[in-house]
Amino acid sequence: MSILDQDIKYLPGVGPQRQQILNKELGIENFGDLLEYYPYKYVDRSKVYRIAELMSDMPFVQIKGRILSFETFDMGIKKKRLVAHFSDGSGVIDLVWFSGVQYVVKSYKVGTEYVVFGKPGIFNGRQQITHPDIDDASTLELNDMGMQPYYVTTERMKKAGMTSRTMEKIMKSLLLKLPPLTETLPAFITQPHHFVSRDEAMRMVHYPKDQYEMQHARERLKFEELFYVQLNILRYVANNRKKYKGYMLPKVGEMFHEFYSKNLKFELTGAQKRVMHEIQNDMNTGRQMNRLVQGDVGSGKTLVALMAMLIAVDNGFQAVMMAPTEILAEQHLATIKEFLHDMDVRVELLTGIVKGKRRREVLEGLLNGEVKILVGTHAVIEDTVQFQNLGLAVIDEQHRFGVAQRAKLWAKNENPPHILVMTATPIPRTLAMTIYGDLDVSVIDELPPGRKPIMTLHKYDTQKKSLYDGIRKEVAKGRQVYVVYPLITESEKMDLQNLEDGFAHLQEVFPDFKLSKVHGKMKPAEKETEMQRFARGETQMLVATTVIEVGVNVPNASVMVIMEAQRFGLSQLHQLRGRVGRGADQSYCILVSGFELAAETRKRLDIMCESNDGFRIAEADLKLRGPGDLEGTQQSGMAFDLKIANIAMDGQLVQLARDEAQRVIDGDPECNLPENMMMWNRLRELRKSSIDWAAIS
């Protein structure tokens, strides 16, 4: 057993009690886990200031001197404030504690020389440092302190006295105990990029002498983490390509040509044509297609998917389109049937509400091959659903399906069908490389001709009169309006109340309008009825929660009002905005918020007003919120278990890691060259760890 596999309780300074806390709070079980518990920030402790030099606006500082005396002040029942008057000869500063008073008095002595570290401030005209770090000066070699690491600690850890400082001391005892660490990257990778060794990186990341050491250590460790993620993904892709043969769909035949020449009433955009060529090439190579098509709302992804499905039908296969909700499945069905009007292609729907005789007819049609295209929800992957010859599966908004659900599609034919994944959530390139690393990526980055960019405005609660005037003008032109209230996940009741109050208020403000109301607590049939009333133009305003984020297509709707817009993430705001702008008229998105906004929130709303570019917005969202929080990207997979790398900030390293991993796979497709054994062994070790390295698709 490696020393890194040793139980954490055997490390000096830990023991059984702290072991339990580290297990439960941080998932740290052994020495290796602790080693990868990286600092989240560093403070420069190489300089010692004189008290006379201190100013209240300084960051954390270090001073050296002696406690002159202690003074205690009562602050109510059982509450005391302890002040130690501290001097270095150049001046006096107060060290202040509001808790742990007995411990402080017992631990620190008048007249002993200490090094004090903390943030200076002023209270009642006197300089002070609250709850400082204090070390006996005789035990510290100040010149060797360098950058002090700071570690994330939970409330439970703090209550048990396990502060960042405690963790620093535990880490120090681990590093003293460890022999030199085995290298995990080959020289042909580390040398050209001037990466330090793994052993140096691990020691320097916890105790760097300066910024230079800290950056070198972090760069090496970030690269390694990203490299093994990419190596795992690319090896999986290479294995799949060897293992799974794809059905050959070479013919662009009668159905496709009839649709293209008779039913398609407009010219495809250049981006749609490019993506269709990429799909066609994939389905003609003899290997299974796994392609992601990204494109903003309204860019024409469904049309591209339909043309791919017609190629499957022309080649004697069936196709299925799987959507995350019944509303969206029905929307796709209606769109496809409208496109295919007067064509002899049987298209059916299969969702939870298709029951009895109708369901039996659909299942029979799939088995005997009469149903050529099936549209549905996760109901299509049930064991009772059997195809005669499934050749293509289209998955819409795939992040809403679990890995196991998607994998069931593979079992629907002798070979896995070709897979086409569609998403209207634009995904930044570095994120796509990691989340969807096993998929080839196509981007539809043009909107159909005639579409005007949506004008986005930010208004405050106090400006509702002008907002309502604007709505009246649009409705007078015959247009329709969405009003969305936030989904407050903590409380469905609160969410509903919010919507009900808003609905009642809007009825008062617009007594001459007919209003529809939609929320997640309604039965599917009720929701559908209200949405259809709005779609037919029987109501002028649809008041809803985010349930309308996907699956509503009303070209006549020209205004999207998002109440309490500060509660929404960028990607979600962009998705909601995409509900309008579907016709040729000028459309508007109005973001309504209170006046008091956090700086980050204000930045988010500003970005929405400045840009309609989904990819720019997704990049900004990734930087503002980090990958783990992005709407719709929380995945089963490795992408968000990164311990030190940050996909949002480390884009160049992601690309470098991808390139190096691809070079390894290309040079050693069978994974058996001696010079690469170190990497394959390391990958095996990582796959045995607690990380879920499941293939994403």
Q: What is the mean pLDDT of the chain?
A: 86
pLDDT of residue 522: 81
Q: 403: pLDDT confidence band, cut at 50, 70 and 90?
A: low
Instruction: Pick the closest to residue 394 from 297, 277, 339, 312 (CA basis).
Output: 312
CB 424 within 8 A of CB 295: yes
Q: Which of 408, 356, 348, 350 is nearest to 373 (CA)?
A: 348
pLDDT attached to residue 400: 57
Predicted confidence at residue 344, as pLDDT, reads 92
What confidence tier does 626 reach under pLDDT thresholds 50, 70, 90?
A: low
Output the pLDDT for position 8: 93
Q: Which position has the higher pLDDT, 354 or 528?
A: 354
User: CA 433 to CA 423: how far, in whole Å?
Assistant: 15
CB 421 within 8 A of CB 293: yes
What tens digit of pLDDT does each residue of 629-678 get? 433 333 333 334 688 988 767 878 988 999 999 999 999 988 889 999 99
693 band by pLDDT with thresholds 50, 70 and 90: very low
Task: Say yes or no to pLDDT of 447 above 80.
Answer: no
In this prediction, residue 531 carries a pLDDT of: 84
pLDDT computed for residue 388 by the predictor: 94
Residue 392 CA, distance from chain mean position = 28
Is residue 406 pLDDT above 70, yes or no? no
Query: Please, which residues have CB within 8 angstroms of residue 39's CB and are 6 or more apart in sequence?
Result: 149, 150, 151, 205, 206
Reference 437, options 241, 230, 654; nearest CA is 230
pLDDT of residue 428: 72
In angstroms, the CA 538 to CA 532 distance is: 9
**Is the pLDDT higher at 436 or at 262?**
262
- Res. 23: pLDDT tops 60: yes
Query: How confident is the model over 100-118, as a mean pLDDT?
Result: 91
Please report, rounded to a whole number, the percentage of residues in the chain having pLDDT higher than 90. Answer: 50
Q: What angle do CA 315, 319, 320 make, to 5 degrees?
A: 175
Q: What is the pLDDT of residue 630?
A: 37
Q: In the structure, what pLDDT confidence band is assigned to residue 597 with cuts at 50, 70 and 90?
A: confident
pLDDT in tens, 486-529: 864 445 555 555 788 888 899 999 999 999 988 877 887 888 78
DSSP assignment letter at 476: H
pLDDT of residue 488: 42
pLDDT in tens, 449-466: 777 889 999 999 899 999
Q: What is the pLDDT of residue 481?
A: 95
Least-confidence region, from 230-244, 255-269, 629-643: 629-643
pTM > 0.85: no
pLDDT category at 20 given cuts 50, 70, 90 is very high
Q: Hey, what amino acid is at 289? A: M
Tens digits of per-residue pLDDT, 277-327?
999 999 998 888 989 898 877 788 899 999 999 999 999 999 999 998 887
State which of 74-78, 307-311, 562-566, 579-583 shows the largest mean pLDDT.
307-311
Distance of CA 116 to the CA centre of its chain: 40
How far CA 37 is from CA of 26, 31, 174, 185, in Å, comes to 9, 10, 12, 20
- By mean pLDDT, which of 224-233, 429-438, 516-525, 550-559 is the weakest? 429-438
Q: What pLDDT band is residue 141 in, cutting at 50, 70 and 90?
A: low
Percentage of residues of the chain with pLDDT beyond 70: 91
